[in-house]
Amino acid sequence: MQNSNANILCVDFCLPNVLLFAYQIYWNIYCRELTVMIINRLIVKNWRNFQHIDVPLRERQFIVGPNASGKSNLLDIFRFLRDIAKAEGGGLQKAIGDRGGVSKIRCLSARQDPEVSIEIHIADTPDAPATWRYSLGFRQADREHCQTLLSHERVWREGERLLDRPDADDNADPDRLIQTALEQNAANAKFREIGRFLRNVTYLHLVPQLIRFGDAIQGKVIEDDPFGQAFLERVAGVHPSTRRARLKRIEHTLKIAVPQFEKLEFIRDKIGRPHLRARYSHWHPTEEGHCEDQFSDGVLRLIGLLWSLLENDSIVLLEEPELSLNIGIVSQLAPSISRLQRSRRSQVLVSTQSDVLLIEPGIDGREVLLLIPSKEGTVVKPSSDFDDVCVLLKNGFTVGEVVLPQTHPKHIGGLVLPE
């Protein structure tokens, strides 16, 4: 009797835990998958060197174009939206001020229209109808006031319009137009999900020299640390078990990519500063390893790249990841991103000039946006919009072979330094 009571008690006590555990597994497998969002359409007017963009976006999107065609400017649109939505120190005025004002942002080849606008469609998959649409337009107030004024801000959820500014309140008090509803908790209750999503946009263009010579430079770390100056603090800041798991996966990749690479670990020095330490198999067994200041550029960049891919469930922006990497590694980046997306389902936008990066036969023409400079600003089109590209891809050519040559400058054969 005693025993069976104890059993019942035990079941009573454990059931909530078991249910909670089962729910967590269910949530991780199903709900997490379902709640992942991506931006599947981008519509832009007068942003930097683009007069007009209207393109669909896939989960893995490559952005290719010649030098100064606007690859970084295109990625900056997503950072700009993140900067507006940021929980601390965000907002429209700051995001524009950090970029030098509307006069720097607005397309110089735009004619009369003073407005800059951005619209994003957010959905569960690239081909699904938009769950959310967010549209923002702004312009400089006037010459005397440096402030930027919203010309519109609109939000739709599943086709239903939730916000349409300027509204009656804005008309009664035009000062309200210096802030977006997106940045204000009191005003964005019905669409807070959009802000949460945008806040997680990650951009890391790790500059190895900033890590290697960090102590000597002692520079101010730029907000959000886009160049990885505080990368080691970022690694130190995550929970130890998460950090161990991520570094194990990175170590696994480095062992394949870097000859004789054996071990990657996180350590703290005598005064508590974080470091990464690596060991190579051909070293003497008593040799402990060396720290990040002695890593090669390629190893540092690969660590930064893999870390940002593992860190994020929203949008990861990778700027020319091929820099300093061996071409064998570069050729594996596209399939690695796909593999990672199967378990993490983030959206990865990659700017590149490397045909090797696009050599994978599995890359779909829709996954490549081609930036084509013209007199009216740069035109952006998915490479699948070009019939000749589609024919060649169907005949077994890869995107790297077909698309990249189109971005080469016309007279590149005559490229010589003047005497």
Ligand X SMILES: Nc1ncnc2c1ncn2[C@@H]1O[C@H](COP(=O)(O)OP(=O)(O)O)[C@@H](O)[C@H]1O
Residues that bind ligand X in the complex, under the rule CB under 6 A: 48-49, 65, 67-73, 104-108
104 vs 273, which CB is nearer to ligand X?
A: 104
- Cβ 375 to ligand X shortest distance, Å: 12
72 vs 338, which CB is nearer to ligand X?
A: 72
User: CA 241, CA 260: separation in Å to the nearest integer?
Assistant: 26
- Cβ 29 to ligand X shortest distance, Å: 39
User: CA 52, CA 379: separation in Å to the nearest integer?
Assistant: 7
51 vs 229, which CB is nearer to ligand X?
A: 51
The window from 72-80, 227-235, 283-291, 401-409 that contacts Mg ion (CB under 5 A) reads 72-80
The window from 67-75, 97-105, 218-226, 400-408 that contacts Mg ion (CB under 5 A) reads 67-75
Residue 406 binding Mg ion, by CB under 5 A: no
Q: Which residue is nearest to Mg ion (CB)?
A: 72
User: CA 346, CA 362: separation in Å to the nearest integer?
Assistant: 18
User: CA 169, CA 191: separation in Å to the nearest integer?
Assistant: 19
CB hemisphere CA count around 218 (13 angstroms):
2
Report CA-CA distances (Å) from 394 to 56, 187, 331, 363, 397: 21, 49, 21, 12, 7
- Cβ 72 to Mg ion shortest distance, Å: 3
- Cβ 233 to Mg ion shortest distance, Å: 26
Torsion sign (Cα): 408, 366, 82, 207 = negative
Residues 169 and 185: beta-carbon distance below 8 Å: no
120 vs 371, which CB is nearer to Mg ion?
A: 371
107 vs 230, which CB is nearer to ligand X?
A: 107
- Cβ 97 to ligand X shortest distance, Å: 15
The window from 27-35, 71-79, 80-88, 191-199 that contacts Mg ion (CB under 5 A) reads 71-79
- The helix-helix angle for 327-344 and 297-311 (nearest 10°) equals 10
Find which of ligand X, Mg ion, none residue 73 binds, CB within 5 to 8 Å per kind. ligand X
Residue type, 398: T
- Cβ 227 to Mg ion shortest distance, Å: 13
65 vs 400, which CB is nearer to ligand X?
A: 65
Find which of ligand X, Mg ion, none residue 318 binds, CB within 5 to 8 Å per kind. none
Query: Which residues fall within 8 angstroms of residue 402, CB to CB, at 6 or more apart?
Result: 383, 389, 392, 393
User: CA 387, CA 149: separation in Å to the nearest integer?
Assistant: 42
- Cβ 52 to ligand X shortest distance, Å: 13
100 vs 285, which CB is nearer to ligand X?
A: 100
Q: What are phi and psi of 207, to 5 degrees?
A: -100, 105
How would DSSP label each residue in 29-82?
IIIHHHH--EEEEEEEEEETTEEEEEEE--SEEEEE-STTSSHHHHHHHHHHHH
Beta bridge partners of 371: 380
226 vs 289, which CB is nearer to ligand X?
A: 226
Residue 72 binding Mg ion, by CB under 5 A: yes
Find which of ligand X, Mg ion, none residue 65 binds, CB within 5 to 8 Å per kind. ligand X
Find which of Mg ion, ligand X, none residue 398 binds, CB within 5 to 8 Å per kind. none
Interface residues with Mg ion (CB under 5 A)?
A: 71-72
